[in-house]
Structure 1
Amino acid sequence: MEHPLRSSAKTAALRCGSWHLLGLLLWLLLPLSATAQAGEKMAIVEIIGSGRAPVAAENLLKLCRKYQVPTTGVYSWQNHLVAYGKAASIQAVQKNLAAVYAGSEVKFYAVPFYKFDRQRCAGKTTAKQWDNIILTANLVKDPAKQQEYLNYHDTQFQKWPEVAQGFCNARFQQLLVFRQGRQLMLVISIPHGESLDKLNPRTSLNNPRVDDWNALMKQYQEGLPGTKPGEVWVFLKPVAMPKAVPVHIK
């Protein structure tokens, strides 16, 4: 019979090993992050299906692999399918979409009209890896209101510096806003492994001007078709998730 103390030690070692393997497995299940894109020209291409059904992502994923767009940059919401990456690669993908997504609308968001980055912060150092969160909404139909919205963003850093300071406080690495027609695309980049739910409240902590800005912007925005009543910005979900690597415990 094995000595009780030795048996306990062996059991503890097995448990320790199991927890280590479980931790490894959980790590492998996490979404892959993107290498920091500071200074890179980024763009978005969007496919909107003709119906309400989700658009199949496989052909877009194949094109992304072909033109070196990380598949972790592919997102979806309802009948909207999006790829985000370096502008030249996204443009190459966009040129091939009509053939594989016949009957769908394709939008190309070439240049953001608004960009925040860490150069506007006291601490200018950026994280080595980022997680990108993408949201979308519409501008209201009134052209005058649309122009007001753009004008506010043109002068935000000068007239509303507290907003950028809030982004600095929240450790946002970059924030881009694109526009195509009435539709807006917002890309928030945060340090890999962080949570937007955790970081976002820091934008307005002891900084009421951020709340004032958000309240002001509400009059210019509305939800896309398919959103719930009162819903404006919707999160697009990553399509390509890394597969878990099976771990065999002997």
Structure 2
Amino acid sequence: MKKFTLALDLVDDPELIAAYETWHKEESRWPEITDSIKNAGILNMEIYRTGNRLVMLMETTDEFSFEKKSLQDAANPKVQEWEQLMWNYQQALPWAREDEKWIIMNKIFSL
């Protein structure tokens, strides 16, 4: 199993943040999105928020790759629709490349 931690910011607006959280509640999730996550080899995913900063924890199969997931997402119209919708609430981190959204964080400590 692999583990990843990623970060992304939300637009710093309380109404947009509340709407983003609503989209991620179980009753609001799109089943096609959770299916695409699971089909990519993601075993567990959690998102945490403080202020407008998001942190995502992912546990994946050993075979998981971000490159393969990106190709699958690009070929899935529903995932593309979801990503377009989420960009209404999200903003890239200041140091992100133009094509980056969620940024993989480097582990700097472990106990």
TM-score bracket, normalised by the shorter chain, equals 0.7 to 0.9
Please state how far the C-alpha of 1:193 moved relative to its aligned partner.
4.8
CA gap of 1:193–1:162, structure 2 versus 1, over 3 A, is closer
- Structure 2: how far apart are the matches of 1:171 and 1:229? 25
Name the count of aligned residue pairs.
Answer: 107
Alignment match of 2:88 (pick from 201, 219, 223): 219
Alignment match of 2:42 (pick from 161, 172, 179): 172
> Equivalent residues in 2 for 1:149-164 (5 A)?
149-154=20-25, 155-157=27-29, 160-164=30-34
> Equivalent residues in 2 for 1:1-250 (5 A)?
130-154=1-25, 155-157=27-29, 160-203=30-73, 205=75, 207-224=76-93, 226-228=94-96, 230=98, 231-239=100-108
- The one-letter amino acid paired with 2:71 is P
- The one-letter amino acid paired with 1:153 is H
TM-score normalised to structure 2 length:
0.79
- Structure 2: how far apart are the matches of 1:217 and 1:229? 18
TM-score normalised to structure 1 length:
0.38
Please state how far the C-alpha of 1:175 moved relative to its aligned partner.
1.0
- Structure 2: how far apart are the matches of 1:131 and 1:151? 29
CA displacement, residues 215-237 of structure 1 (integer Å, 9 cap, x when unaligned): 1001111133x424745422112
List runs of 5+ in structure 2 lacking aligned partners.
Answer: none
List runs of 5+ in structure 1 lacking aligned partners.
Answer: 1-129, 241-250
Say which structure is richer in helix: 1
- Structure 2: how far apart are the matches of 1:179 and 1:136? 10
CA contact (8 A) 2:8 2:102 kept: yes
CA gap of 1:168–1:204, structure 2 versus 1, over 3 A, is farther
- The one-letter amino acid paired with 2:47 is V
CA contact (8 A) 1:167 1:203 kept: no
CA gap of 1:144–1:196, structure 2 versus 1, over 3 A, is same
CA gap of 1:229–1:173, structure 2 versus 1, over 3 A, is closer
Please state how far the C-alpha of 1:199 moved relative to its aligned partner.
3.5
- Structure 1: how far apart are the matches of 2:95 and 2:44? 26
CA gap of 1:133–1:237, structure 2 versus 1, over 3 A, is same
- Structure 1: how far apart are the matches of 2:8 and 2:24? 16
- Structure 1: how far apart are the matches of 2:83 and 2:17? 16
CA contact (8 A) 2:47 2:55 kept: yes
